[in-house]
């Protein structure tokens, strides 16, 4: 028998069904609340609101668990490739070797972008942020590649097209921003190696692919591949709920990810560490500022809406930072600073009481710097990684017969009805 919660209001009792997920998490189904009681719920920032049921990603913020389609992210980071993880997220199960080969062929076939798209890049003002450019370019893809008729075609063609072309578009934006020749994708390279080659190969200095960096990028993208109903994923679902095309929904996700409280935090962390160095002030000074409620400064890369313990992705990235920097014999003072800051913060009562731990963005900038990615491209790297998750979530919502146009309610607190006053009488 289904459990129920009861709500009593003005002498009447309403029974609300309780829905239970695979891992025992429970939620009160209020979908008939307004119809039966006239009431709505208010939940600023949706911190207590489940917007859907989903079979894609499970996370437990108290225990620091993250699983894609049931598989712990630690196992995927150790054994899988980003390409295979993307397949798992979008299709629901790990591919057979034949399926994986076919997926690779599709990704390769779709990797070029229309030459006319280069013109767009030339017309963005100098200094435009790559996230704004990427969001616009993904939206523009719709004009070059029309929607397809069936969901099967859409998945096979549009989805692989997006996964493949976003990588090309991102590398292209970097090359064009530097005024350099665009490097085309190569059929003989893996997903990650291909991206690095498009970013860093040059007619005068051929890029030597370093397998350690390829592996680091592979893990970085796997760790970013999905994170259930976060800000950008909810944007993709919400925009998609108007039945807009997939390109426009993903473009909205990229725009949402750009914010410094969300994906933009990886750029903000490195800039914060650089500002601290430039200021000559102590680390403790910034920790004190982060604790001061009157000061808008926050420790970037710390805290998370769901994780109230160490973000499992940050754990993996921290270890990877040490390994990659060690192997490449790179000494990055920002890594030492980040570790020192983490140590001070984790000993501090404020951070302990507020359950503030490093999140995925705290160490990810360090690994991206080691790969050679410029700071303003960090969030673009996150976006490429998050693409399979956005697509999987969009597809799940489209397949869900219960999925409706997203349209929250509000409690109006503005002026009561009043008459218009002509301009001379105001
Ligand atoms: N530094 C200092 N104090 C913080 C921080 C921080 N990084 N994060 C949260 N707090 C404090 C808040 O001031 C607040 O304190 P109070 O209750 O005494 O007023 C309390 O912790 C709760 O903070 P909220 O902002 O209400 O919590 P929320 O769940 O909304 O915030 C967020 C989550 C936005 C990630 C926040 O921790 C933050 O701003 N972190 C820094 C930015 C960041 O790293 N973002 C990346 C997140 S991961 C991702 O999106 C990929």
The token pair at 386 is: 């998050």
**Ligand 1 neighbour 314 (Cβ under 6 A):** no
Residues 6+ apart with CB under 8 A from 271: 300, 375
pLDDT band, residue 122 (cuts 50/70/90): confident
Instruction: Pick the closest to residue 23 from 54, 48, 51, 45 (CA basis).
Output: 54
**Residue 43 Cα to ligand 1 middle (Å):** 17
The token pair at 367 is: 């690994």
Q: Long-range contacts made by residues 206-211, C-beta under 8 angstroms, separation at least 24? A: 210/328
**Residue 128 Cα to ligand 1 middle (Å):** 28
pLDDT at 262 over 80: yes
**Residue 253 Cα to ligand 1 middle (Å):** 21
For 30, 111, 173, 200, the CA distances from 196, given in Å and listed in that order, are 48, 14, 13, 6
φ/ψ of residue 155, rounded to 5: -70, -50
Nearest CA to ligand 1 atom 17: 354
**Ligand 1 neighbour 226 (Cβ under 6 A):** no
Q: What's the rounded Cα separation, in Å, for the pair 181 and 203?
A: 8
**Ligand 1 neighbour 264 (Cβ under 6 A):** no
- Assess whether 361 carries a catalytic annotation: yes
**Residue 320 Cα to ligand 1 middle (Å):** 25
**Ligand 1 neighbour 261 (Cβ under 6 A):** yes
Q: Which of 201, 226, 311, 361 is catalytic?
A: 361
> According to the model, what pLDDT value does residue 100 have?
96
**Residue 356 Cα to ligand 1 middle (Å):** 8
CA 227 to ligand 1: nearest atom: 51
The listed range with the strongest mean pLDDT (71-75, 308-312, 325-329) is 71-75
| Secondary structure (DSSP) of 356-387 | --B-HHHHHHHHHHHHT--GGGHHHHHHHHHH
Q: Which of 109, 304, 326, 349 is catalytic?
A: 304
φ/ψ of residue 84, rounded to 5: -70, -40
Which of 142-146, 161-165, 283-287, 292-296 has the lowest average pLDDT? Answer: 142-146
CATH topology of domain 60-402: Citrate Synthase; domain 1 (1.10.580)
Q: What's the rounded Cα separation, in Å, for the pair 120 and 310?
A: 42
Domain 4-59: give its CATH architecture.
Single Sheet (2.20)
Which of 23-32, 110-119, 149-158, 178-187 has the lowest average pLDDT? Answer: 149-158
pLDDT band, residue 156 (cuts 50/70/90): confident
CA 269 to ligand 1: nearest atom: 44
Q: What is the mean pLDDT of residues 327-336?
A: 88
- Please give the share of the chain, as a percent, with pLDDT higher than 90: 85
Q: What's the rounded Cα separation, in Å, for the pair 357 and 302?
A: 5
Q: What is the mean pLDDT of residues 147-167?
A: 82
Within the chain, how many helices (H) and strands (E) appear? 19, 6
Which of 34-38, 117-121, 192-196, 220-224 has the lowest average pLDDT? Answer: 117-121
Nearest CA to ligand 1 atom 10: 303
Instruction: Pick the closest to residue 269 from 149, 162, 197, 362 (CA basis).
Output: 362
Mean pLDDT of the chain: 93
**Ligand 1 neighbour 352 (Cβ under 6 A):** no
**Ligand 1 neighbour 265 (Cβ under 6 A):** yes
Nearest CA to ligand 1 atom 26: 305
pLDDT at 47 over 90: yes
Q: What is the mean pLDDT of residues 260-288?
A: 93
| Secondary structure (DSSP) of 96-115 | PHHHHHHHHHHHHHT----T
**Residue 302 Cα to ligand 1 middle (Å):** 7
**Residue 206 Cα to ligand 1 middle (Å):** 43
**Ligand 1 neighbour 299 (Cβ under 6 A):** yes
Angle at which helix 283-291 crosses helix 265-279, to 10 degrees, equals: 130
Nearest CA to ligand 1 atom 28: 305
**Ligand 1 neighbour 383 (Cβ under 6 A):** no
303, 364, 381, best to mutate for ligand 1 pocket (most atoms within 8 Å of CB): 303
**Ligand 1 neighbour 303 (Cβ under 6 A):** yes
Contact indicator for 193, 183 with CB cutoff of 8 Å: no
Q: What's the rounded Cα separation, in Å, for the pair 27 and 50?
A: 7
Domain ranges for the chain: 4-59, 60-402
**Residue 305 Cα to ligand 1 middle (Å):** 7
Q: What's the rounded Cα separation, in Å, for the pair 323 and 212?
A: 9
pLDDT band, residue 1 (cuts 50/70/90): low
pLDDT one-digit tens code per residue, 207-234: 999 999 999 999 999 999 999 999 999 9
Assess whether the region 4-59 and the region 60-402 belong to the same CATH fold.
no
Helix (H, G, I), strand (E, B) or coil at 313: helix
Residues 6+ apart with CB under 8 A from 162: 138, 141, 246, 247, 250, 387, 391
> According to the model, what pLDDT value does residue 128 have?
87
Contact indicator for 287, 327 with CB cutoff of 8 Å: no
- Assess whether 180 carries a catalytic annotation: no
The owner of tokens 């750029």 is 267
Contact indicator for 206, 370 with CB cutoff of 8 Å: no
CA 45 to ligand 1: nearest atom: 30
């Amino acid at each position: 028998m289904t459990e129920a919660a009861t709500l009593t209001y003005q002498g009447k009792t309403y029974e609300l069904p309780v829905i239970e997920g695979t891992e025992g998490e429970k939620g009160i189904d209020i979908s008939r609340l307004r119809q039966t009681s006239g009431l709505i719920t208010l939940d600023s920032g949706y911190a207590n609101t489940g917007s859907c049921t989903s079979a894609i990603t499970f996370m437990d913020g108290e225990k620091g668990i993250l699983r894609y389609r049931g598989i712990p992210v630690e196992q995927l980071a150790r054994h899988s490739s980003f390409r295979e993880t993307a397949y798992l997220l979008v299709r629901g199960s790990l591919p057979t070797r034949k399926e994986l080969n076919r997926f690779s062929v599709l990704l390769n076939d779709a990797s070029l972008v229309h030459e006319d798209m280069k013109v767009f890049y030339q017309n963005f003002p100098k200094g435009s942020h790559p996230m704004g450019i990427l969001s616009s370019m993904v939206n523009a893809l719709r004009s070059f590649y029309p929607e397809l008729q069936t969901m099967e075609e859409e998945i096979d063609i549009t989805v692989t097209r997006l996964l493949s072309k976003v990588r090309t578009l991102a590398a292209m934006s970097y090359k064009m921003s530097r005024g350099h020749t665009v490097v085309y994708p190569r059929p003989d390279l893996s997903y990650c190696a291909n991206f690095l080659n498009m970013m860093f190969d040059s007619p005068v200095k051929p890029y030597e692919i370093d397998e350690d960096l390829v592996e680091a990028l592979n893990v970085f993208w796997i760790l970013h591949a999905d994170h259930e109903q976060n800000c950008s994923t909810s944007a993709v679902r919400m925009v998609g709920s108007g039945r807009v095309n997939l390109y426009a929904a993903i473009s909205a996700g990229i725009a949402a990810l750009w914010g410094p409280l969300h994906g933009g935090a990886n750029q903000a962390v490195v800039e914060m560490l650089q500002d601290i160095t430039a200021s000559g002030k102590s680390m403790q000074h910034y920790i004190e500022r982060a604790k001061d409620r009157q000061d808008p400064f926050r420790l970037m890369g710390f805290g998370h809406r769901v994780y109230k313990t160490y973000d499992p992705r940050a754990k993996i990235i921290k270890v990877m930072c040490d390994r990659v920097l060690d192997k490449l014999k790179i000494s990055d003072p920002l890594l030492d600073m980040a570790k020192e800051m983490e140590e001070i913060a984790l000993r501090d009562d404020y951070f302990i009481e507020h359950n503030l731990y490093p999140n995925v963005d705290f160490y990810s900038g360090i690994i991206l710097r080691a790969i050679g990615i410029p700071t303003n491209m960090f969030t673009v790297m996150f976006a490429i990684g998050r693409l399979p998750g956005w697509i999987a979530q969009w597809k799940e919502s489209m397949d869900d017969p219960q999925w409706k146009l997203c349209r929250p309610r509000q409690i109006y607190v503005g002026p009561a009805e009043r008459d218009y006053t002509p301009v001379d009488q105001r």
